[in-house]
Amino acid sequence: MKKILIISIILGFTQTSCKENFLTIVPETALSSATFFNKEADFQQAVNAAYVPLRSIVNDRAYLLGEMHSDNTYYYRNILFGATEQQEDIADFAVPTANGVTSNTHVLNNYRLDYQIIARANQILSQIDKVEFNADSKNNLKGQAMLLRAYAYLELVQYFGKVPLHLTPVTVRQDAALPLSTVDEVYAQIIKDATQASTFLLPKSKQEAGRVTSGSAKTLLANVYIVQKKWAEAEKVARDVVTSGEYGLMIGYENAFSTNTANKNNQESIFEVQFLEGSDGLNGSIIYNFLPRPMSPEELKPITGTSNPQPLTGEGNNAPTPDIIAAYETGDLRKDASIAVVTLSGSLRANKVFPYIKKFAKTHTLHGNTGNNWPIYRYSEVLLYLAEALTEQNKVSEAAPFLNQVRTRAGLKASKAVSQTEMRNAIYQERRVELAFENKRWFDLIRTGRAIDVITAYGNRIKANPVDYYYPEGAIPRSNAFTNISLLYGLPADEAALTPYF
Amino acid sequence: MKNTITNQSIKIFVSRWVITLILFIPTLAFAQQQIKGKVSGQDGVPLSGVSVAVKGTTRGTTTDAEGNFKIEVATKAILSFSFIGYGTKDVPVTSGQSVVNVALNEDQQNLDEVVVVGYGTQLKKEITGAVQTVNYKELKDIPVSQITQKLQGQLAGVQINQTTGKPGQGMSVRIRGQVSVTAGSDPLYVIDGFPITGNIGAMNPDEIEDISILKDAASTSLYGSRAANGVVLITTKKGKAGTNVSFSTFTGLQEVPKRGRVEMMSAVEFAQFKKEYYEDAKQPVPVEFQNPSQYEGKNNDWYDALLRVAPLQSYNLSITSNREKARTSVVAGVFNQKGVVINNDYKRYSLRINSEFDVSDKVKMGFNLAPQYVFDNTPRTDGDRGTGILFNALHTWPVMPIRDANGELTLFNKFPASTGNIFAYANWVRAAGELINETTTTNLISNAYIQYRPIKGLVLKSTFNVEVLRSKFFFFNPSTATSAINVPVPTTAVSIRENTENLTWLNENLATYSKSFNNNHNFELLAGFTNQKFRQESTRTQADTYADDRLPTIQGAININRAGTFNGVQEWSLTSFLSRLTYNYKGKYLFTAAIRSDGSSRFGSDNRWGTFPSASVGWVISDEPFIQKFPEISFAKLRASFGVIGNNNIGNYTSYALINNTVNAVFGNTVSAGAVVTSLANKNLGWETTRQFDLGLDLGLFNNRVQFIYDFYTKNTTNLLYSVQVPQESGFGNFNDNIGEIKFWGHEFSLVTKNTVGKINWTTNFNISFNRNIVVALADGIDRVYGSFHITKVGYPFGQFYGHVAQGVYLNAEDLKNSPQVPGRSTVGSIKLTDQNGDGIITNGGDNDDRVIIGSPFPKFTYGITNNFRYGNFDLSIIGSGSYGNQLLVRHLYSTANLDGVFNMVKEVQYRFRSPENPGKGFYGTTVGGGNVTGIERDWMNSRFIADASFFTIKNITLGYTIGAVNKAFKSARLYTSIQNAFIFTQYWGGPNPETSANGAGNGDGGNLSQGVDLSNYPVPRTYTLGINLNF
């Protein structure tokens, strides 16, 4: 008996003596940072993940902040349905803002999603040079990380102006918040990243379809230079894209956009956010956000073609306004490719016919699960960038062919614009209809200095005639509608609560 | 109608039982010699109900109301007299003797009682910490399945709430007002020295002999980094003298009283509301609501349809035996409870075998084995809107039929969109009846020890404990039903299977040496080391889209859900050294010091070991001559203790930075794996530290007829584990860190009085506790953390309700004009909130809006009172427990007072504002204006959601009758009837259970910052039972 006791005590001591082993237990079902970022495949995966927040940005937020926050679209007012003020505030230019801060959730979410891209890119860029592997593939990975970071900062700086500029990963709690950087500092970083990315990245013909390319980098640079009114620089990079031979307009405007499974990353596509139908969580559902309500399954089925259409309730968004509908010239093939109408039997309105955005409504298999991609940059935009850069340098006749390429495809005659001002306005008009519902309108209005005037007039039209803007008879816009027409969104309140810097 | 049926069925049930019991009692048999006598107390008062047994036989009787008894005995016999509260007395009967009169002594109030403490036992008199014991025998017959239910109202400083009526679930136990942000607040349960990792709620209460609750740091510090929430020590039944066999059973019926349920609109009232809604909005009234009286007699009470009167039964057989060198105890139990929600079924089969062998004079070995099987099928009753069927049932339109014209349950109800029916409602009765949501758990707790006493005073003990738990969860949602709102039926059938296996082992090696010098200086020294390891493996498979609901196999599914199919591992290890020194001088001056050092795998690699010391002193003043001059004072002791303890419930891998490698991207139509760093590493992560001080007084007066215990404590918890929110510009949402400080303090009183002794025996046990806390600090730069509807703010108590103060509605245009408004949303008749920041408008969100603290989920005090009466063979006990000054957030109001008529509503909404001329009761506002207007009052947390949840509940009333020995049939028997949850006295209007307290959605904290939310959980039934205990 004594022996047993002694043995068990010795056993106990032995266990205790190797206690550091006994006490070290690493997670078995998750990788930890100690073992990650040490081979090419790890960085490949990290780069892939840096693309992921884009899905949520375009599916859930960008159309609110970039399109419905303009005279192109409005919401389909449903007076029976509450908890919609977050979207309504954006469309009504009534985002509650105090001391440069707003509690709007869509603003918050878009902000956080952009910083997710940035943090993931920073993680890659800070570690990748510590690991040896093939220089070409390393450059391609670095280029992607840089360009995604540049894209995220471009969104941020256009929405918010001054933002924190994170370029290295955060490792301790105290570094989580940074002071706001100036707009110039942010743009300088975007240009630096995009310029470097344009040399690191592969051209479209050599890159895996769906990833960013050197052409994407140059287009983003053109975008930045246009915003900054650096016309010569914009001309140069846009021309590089045009002369690269990598891109061309699709025949037929409607073919510029991917269907549920096909026509993705086509020759007109410079960068698009990738979706995949199915149960892997890689799908989109964006067109459901764009439909008027209440819509019965019978009314929905012709639009989506699914086997299991379900009723849509609540309040729909991104209703094409009478303004955008009127903006199409007679004979513009893009109008019918972009907008269609649907009749809702359950509507409270006398007029139960509603326009909706057709451009992205591609048939798919299951309700709420779409696979079509979302365009960020298309070749037609590069043509219009080039035309604009030339026009602003007073090379109007040189600009005209690029504008007319876009018009011809839309079934329109060549532009009659002759003077610089005429040509400028023609390009603005062309951008509006060519890029309608692609979340370009608000950025265009602010960069061209037209935002306040255009939106004020637009707000007055809604208030004067709400029924034209899809209000049920008797309903009127909320009393705060169009009371906060400002060029920038406030920074998110939830972030403000956590940072000492704003 | 329903009520009548219920009452009838109870009556039938009761009468059947009475008949059975009467038949069961056999007639008295013959004997050789008759003894008569009288039993009295020392004061000469006759004692009734004293059990009189003939030793070594099964024969016995009890005294009548005058203290008289009569019994047949053999010529030479020993009569044994025993009575609760009095000692046992054996009296030999000589041949020819016919009269035996006996005077029984009152128990010398349990001062010689031995109390189980951490890693040993102590004389109650000599304890220097705050250790609370309960007289577990008195709680034996409370007809519930969980130990913690029995303890409700019994313990000072321990708040025990039944948050849901689900059988076998939902007990919240908080010792000394414990809260933590993320680290969990449940006490550590230790069964026979083994800290268990499973669910204490599943343990058969009949296996228990004794319970001690360790409250202060001095008594818990030997549990080191797991001690901060307090420790509950459970000792199971051991073999006792002789061989005793007992069988106990009870059976009962449970029902949910009508009183206390949420009063919802009937079909007619609802239709009337809808009619008025459209009229007020100047819209055409949908045809369905033009004539509300058409729904007369067609009301559908969806909530009531889910409930039923349900039976429960319990059977326990226990055998204890003590033969020469072996002691054994066996307890076998069957517990079977149908829930009051249809299709709810809970069964427990349990066995415990405890054996001890004296191998030699110096060596002892012991083995305990306790296998158990629990089956639990529980409909998805609890949860917020859309998830819990009880919540869903509450707000389902009462005009929607539960059954169709053929009496079949409807599948699915949806009115045309023109009626404002936004959410489609599945049939919740089907959801309860057709969904399978079952868990079967098999577990085995085993303990083995060997004890060796090489020399006098020295004991070496080595234990090895293993707990194995296998749990199998199976969920099947057939295509015909769903528990979620707005999911059309037929729906996609889904199955989930989850298998979990836990293995915990603990090895402890302890040496105890005790020595006494001149009987004056008494020492005991304990030293030991322990190792414990826990590993859990789980596998989950989720499949959906079934061709046939009858075959819910994995292979029968068309689709395997990738996101819902995974396996997991959770593991931790703990190595500890512990020691305790106890010293007293003549049992009068007491001193104890203890220390434990814990190394834990959970702590960061740079902070692996924590040390937890404590010291305590006691002074038995009543042993001093100057007190002995006061004979009224029978016992008095002062205690003081201080110690440091920890809370290691911080998660197993929290200190590591983790990579999520399923953040996949798609390029073209190709899926590409993606990986993301999801958390930051913290090598310094450690336990939460609590420094606790306790001051106590134990007092016995009038020969201990009055016993009083008082404790004052303070606790300071620092290094709270918190997932500190960081700005997400960093790419991370949170950083796990030890931050902040919470201060707790409180007073606990308990009083036991023997009000009358003798013919009528009446004792009262009363306790009351006052617990307070305040947040002293959070992370640097952070002065507040928001919960779901709550705020935790420096300088205020933890987790307070946070929202607007409602002032009624804007009565007219002038009122609206002159009052602060919600810009763009307030109208005449809409809710009027208070402009707290004085900026002239009402805003919601951000740190400088108009929200303030509007209530607290923490009571000002909790209390319990138990009265026991005994008269002759009858005994009666009444147990009450209460709470005062706490509030609950009535969550269902965001649906049931949704003025858009989207859901069914509480009756009070009938008295809403309709026009300045017809302003209603001023509580609910106008329906005109839609969500933009009505959304404020339901979406913005405000004081209307807060309800006083003070309550006093008569937890249990038991009336029993004890019969003495009946020949060879049995030694004694007791019949009893009881009502559990007999009455609730409360002003609470949010639902039937003021004890409920779900957590809000949580903010990365598991909801701890958001306590006190009434999610319309499973109601706690009232239970009527009949029971019998037989001792053979």
Sequence-ordered list of residues with C-beta below 8 angstroms from that of B839, at least 6 positions apart, any chain: none
In three state form, how does the secondary structure of B922-960 look?
CCCCCCCCCHHHHHHHHHCCEHHHEEECCEEEEEEEEEE
Cβ-nearest to B726 among A19, A116, A176: A176
Q: Which two tokens stand for residue B885?
A: 């000054």
ipTM comes to 0.91
Q: Where are the alpha helices (DSSP H) in A358-466?
A: 379-392, 396-409, 420-434, 441-447, 451-464
Residue indicated by tokens 């059988």: B167
| Pick from A471, A476, A481, A473: nearest CA to A78 | A471
Alpha carbons B931 and B422: distance in angstroms, whole number:
13
Cβ-nearest to A177 among B672, B729, B737: B729
B843 to A98, B384, B448, B743, B847: CA distances (angstroms):
11, 26, 64, 32, 11
Specify the pLDDT at position B20: 47
- Chain B residues in contact with A34 (beta carbon < 8 A): 656-657
Residue indicated by tokens 């920041």: B837
Alpha carbons B477 and B484: distance in angstroms, whole number:
11
**Rounded to a whole number, what is the distance in Å from the CA of B47 to chain A's nearest CA?**
52
| Pick from B978, B894, B980, B988: nearest CA to B942 | B894
B602 three-state secondary structure: coil
**Rounded to a whole number, what is the distance in Å from the CA of B992 to chain A's nearest CA?**
29
Q: Which helix (H) or strand (E) holds B399?
A: none
Alpha carbons A13 and B583: distance in angstroms, whole number:
28
| Pick from B858, B854, B876, B859: nearest CA to B867 | B876
**Does the distance separating the beta carbons of B731 and A169 come in below 8 Å?**
yes
- Describe the crossing of helices A379-392 and A396-409 by its angle, rounded to 10 degrees: 160
| Pick from B902, B909, B936: nearest CA to B923 | B909
Query: By the CB < 8 Å criterion, does B531 face chain A?
Result: yes
Alpha carbons B1032 and B1029: distance in angstroms, whole number:
10
CB B164 within 8 A of CB B1018: yes
- Chain A residues in contact with B685 (beta carbon < 8 A): none
pLDDT band at A3 (very low <50, low <70, confident <90, very high): low
Alpha carbons B815 and B807: distance in angstroms, whole number:
12
Alpha carbons B383 and B906: distance in angstroms, whole number:
19
Q: What stretches in chain B show pLDDT beneath 70?
A: 1-32, 42-44, 58, 84-85, 87, 106-111, 965-968, 1000-1006
Alpha carbons A377 and A220: distance in angstroms, whole number:
8
- Coarse DSSP helix, strand, coil percentages of chain A, rounded to the nearest 5 percent: 50, 10, 40
| Ranges of each domain in chain A | 37-201, 286-363
Question: What is the full DSSP assignment across A184-234?
Answer: HHHHHHHHHHHHHHHHHSPPTTTSPTTS--HHHHHHHHHHHHHHTT-HHHH
**Rg of the Cα trace of chain B?**
32
Best A37, A45, A306 residue to mutate vs chain B (most B CBs within 10 Å): A45
Alpha carbons B320 and B247: distance in angstroms, whole number:
12
CB B779 within 8 A of CB B793: no
Please name the residue of chain A whose CA is at the shortest distance from the CA of residue B285. A348
Cβ-nearest to B669 among A103, A175, A276: A276
By CB neighbour count within 10 A (0-12 exposed, 13-18 middle, 19+ buried), where does B189 fall? buried
Specify the pLDDT at position B511: 96
CATH of domain B31-104: 2.60.40.1120
Q: How far apart are the first and last CA of chain A?
A: 72
Topology of domain A37-201, per CATH?
Answer: 1.25.40
The interface residues of chain B toward chain A in range 813-842, judged by CB-CB distance below 8 A, are 823-825
Per-residue pLDDT reduced to its tens digit, B99-143: 888 888 766 545 578 889 999 988 888 999 999 988 888 888 888
Cβ-nearest to B668 among A79, A123, A210: A210
**Does residue B490 have a cis peptide bond before it, meaning omega lies within 30 degrees of 0?**
yes
- Chain A residues in contact with B531 (beta carbon < 8 A): 12, 15-16, 22
| Pick from B250, B538, B192: nearest CA to B370 | B192
- Chain B residues in contact with A276 (beta carbon < 8 A): 666, 669, 671
Per-residue pLDDT reduced to its tens digit, B686-701: 999 999 999 999 999 9
Report the percentage of chain A scoring pLDDT > 90.
84
Other Cβ atoms closer than 10 A to B405? 6
**Rounded to a whole number, what is the distance in Å from the CA of B334 to chain A's nearest CA?**
37
The interface residues of chain B toward chain A in range 248-307, judged by CB-CB distance below 8 A, are 281-283
- Chain A residues in contact with B601 (beta carbon < 8 A): 22-25
Is the pLDDT confidence value at A413 over 50? yes
Annotate B754-765 with b (16+ C-beta within 10 A) or e (fewer): beebebebbbbb
Best B730, B737, B899 residue to mutate vs chain A (most A CBs within 10 Å): B730
Alpha carbons A395 and A8: distance in angstroms, whole number:
93
Q: Which two tokens stand for residue B899?
A: 């003025």
CB A235 within 8 A of CB A339: no
Mean of the pLDDT values across residues A202-227?
97
| Pick from B43, B37, B112: nearest CA to B754 | B43
**Does the distance separating the beta carbons of A478 and B674 come in below 8 Å?**
no
**Rounded to a whole number, what is the distance in Å from the CA of A140 to chain B's nearest CA?**
15
CB B342 within 8 A of CB B173: no
A10 to A14, A392, B194: CA distances (angstroms):
6, 87, 21
Is the pLDDT confidence value at A1 over 60? no
A454 three-state secondary structure: helix
What ranges make up the beta strands (E) of B478-520?
A: 494-517
Query: By the CB < 8 Å criterion, does B92 face chain A?
Result: no
For the entire predicted model, the pTM comes to 0.80
Q: What are phi and psi of A260, to 5 degrees?
A: -60, -40
| Pick from A304, A231, A219, A221: nearest CA to A268 | A219
CB A110 within 8 A of CB A65: yes
**Rounded to a whole number, what is the distance in Å from the CA of A239 to chain B's nearest CA?**
27
Alpha carbons B606 and B609: distance in angstroms, whole number:
9
pLDDT band at A202 (very low <50, low <70, confident <90, very high): very high
The pairing of beta strand B800-803 with beta strand B790-793: antiparallel
Specify the pLDDT at position B29: 39
Specify the pLDDT at position A169: 92
- Chain B residues in contact with A27 (beta carbon < 8 A): 569, 652-653, 656, 658
Alpha carbons A146 and A162: distance in angstroms, whole number:
20
Alpha carbons B797 and B775: distance in angstroms, whole number:
6
- Chain B residues in contact with A1 (beta carbon < 8 A): 359-360, 363, 450, 452
Beta bridge pairs of residue B739: B720
Q: Which two tokens stand for residue B1026?
A: 């009949």
Other Cβ atoms closer than 10 A to A231? 18
Query: By the CB < 8 Å criterion, does B607 face chain A?
Result: no
Specify the pLDDT at position B31: 44
Please name the residue of chain B whose CA is at the shortest distance from the CA of residue A473. B283
Q: Which two tokens stand for residue B222?
A: 């030997």
**Does the distance separating the beta carbons of B464 and A296 come in below 8 Å?**
no
| Ranges of each domain in chain B | 31-104, 263-298+800-1031
Alpha carbons B423 and A81: distance in angstroms, whole number:
11
Alpha carbons B120 and B466: distance in angstroms, whole number:
20
B731 three-state secondary structure: coil
Alpha carbons A426 and A432: distance in angstroms, whole number:
10
Alpha carbons B725 and A495: distance in angstroms, whole number:
10
| Pick from B31, B37, B86: nearest CA to B59 | B31
Beta bridge pairs of residue B114: B123
By CB neighbour count within 10 A (0-12 exposed, 13-18 middle, 19+ buried), where does B771 fall? buried
Listed as own residue / partner, the contacts of B514-522 with beta carbons closer than 8 Å and 24 or more positions apart are: B514/B457, B515/B457, B519/B586, B520/B585, B520/B586, B521/B583, B521/B585, B522/B582, B522/B583, B522/B584, B522/B585, B522/B587
**Rg of the Cα trace of chain A?**
26
Pairs of CB atoms within 8 A across A/B:
299
| Pick from B300, B310, B386, B384: nearest CA to B346 | B310
